[in-house]
A and B are shown apart, each in its own frame.
Chain A
Amino acid sequence: MSSRPELQAPPEIFYDDTEARKYTSSSRIAAIQTELSERALELLALPDDGVPRLLLDIGCGSGLSGETITESGHQWIGLDISHSMLNVALENEVEGDLLLGDMGQGLALRPGVIDGAISISAVQWLCNADKSSHEPRLRLKAFFGSLYRCLARGARAVLQVYPENLAQRELILSYAMRSGFAGGVVVDYPHSTKKRKEYLVLTCGPPSLSTAVPSGKVEDGESCSEDESSEDEENQMICISDRHRPRKKQKINKKGKGREWVLRKKQQMRKKGNVVPPDTKYTARKRKARF
């Protein structure tokens, strides 16, 4: 990721009037946001009894994710630090309640009133120190602490994040755990660089059976879940060291790479979440000479 917005300016400055308008009018961003928030709501696993809940949308921006909540019939409160984004949300006449605030200063909400929280691409902003008074660790602590307090017991929070690197992800997760949350990371499309999405699924209260982390999405339906601690980290460490190992020169015989090689490659691309044509009898067949 070459141009992370976090590295350019603090959120309240980066999302100024023009950027807020650009963000909201882009149909691509809107589609991604909707998809992300639908998935987040799915992971939130609210009981399906038709009772509207009071949800919190952290970093609601212009209310793109809030609209998904409204569609599913819940009430929501949106929090954002950017005034311009909230103005756009007002213009779009979103259903939810808007609140201008900084999540790093803690959420000013009464304990136990919120039935669930979602956050789309917001928490990684906390890892940046934009002012001299900002200390990412303290801000993460304040955020997760106050989030824990304002959630009802047993409520879930689903935070979709784009951590910059492994250390950042570890940092976010460790502060979430320290505040008393149980849960872990759900990774959708773990093999893809672009479609890969990470969700922190946190549950208020002590770990129990009901707090088991749901599994992530993979293109061909097989599930892939990872816990924050165990084998996943090791796997990734191996991956990194693999990259630096000198590659053996690939042998290419005269006949080409063969059908198995093509099938394997296609499987790999499928795992990444790319659209791959189906395997047929024509796959990797040699063309006739007259072609």
Chain B
Amino acid sequence: MLSSNIKGVSNGFPLKIEVEKVVEKQVEINHDFLRNIFQKIDWKAFFDASKVMGFAELPEQAPEPSVLESDLDFLRKFHHALLELHLEEGALVCPETGRKFPVNKGIPNMLLHEDEV
């Protein structure tokens, strides 16, 4: 699951994504969940993230919430970008400090060093 777009460090959001490898996994679509999560997403960060991951079919401006009720095609795209694209190998980069959090096997390593706490 691509959750990197809804994650930030206290001193900087959004994290930039450096892609080395992206995998796609089939996930069953669930409209209720998508509607629930939609309000919480920072659309610009999400749009940028999905573009970096190689999926550019989303609209640049955040659509109206009403679209979620009617437009099944948009829901499918949103679902694909949110849940089916996985960053397998790469890194998340803090926009403020440039600190890199490596991503291995789909697990972001968010451990800080002692001097960063």
Q: Interface of A with B (CB < 8 Å)?
A: 50-54, 75, 77, 81, 86-87, 90, 96-102, 105-106, 108-110, 112-113, 115, 131, 133, 142, 146, 152
Contact = CB atoms under 8 A, between A and B. Distances in A.
B106 interface: yes
Interface residues of B, number: 26
Contacts of A75: 1, 33
CB-CB nearest 6 A-B residue pairs: A101-B110, A52-B33, A97-B1, A51-B32, A100-B109, A133-B114
Q: Is the interface of B mostly helix, strand, loop or mixed?
A: loop
Nearest to B83: A75
Interface of B: 1, 3, 6-10, 13, 30, 32-33, 35-37, 40, 42, 105-112, 114, 117
Given A52-B36, A113-B40, A133-B117, A90 B105 contact: yes
Contacts, number: 70
B1 A110 contact: no
Contact of A108 (B9, B30, B33, B106): B9
A77 B8 CA distance: 14
A229 B35 CA distance: 41
20 contacts: A50-B32, A51-B32, A51-B33, A75-B1, A81-B111, A90-B105, A90-B107, A97-B1, A98-B106, A100-B107, A100-B109, A101-B109, A102-B112, A105-B112, A105-B117, A108-B9, A110-B6, A110-B42, A146-B10, A152-B40
A115 B37 CA distance: 10
A90 B23 CA distance: 15
A152 B37 CA distance: 12
A270 B74 CA distance: 57
B15 to A, nearest CB: 9
Contact of A99 (B30, B108, B117): B108
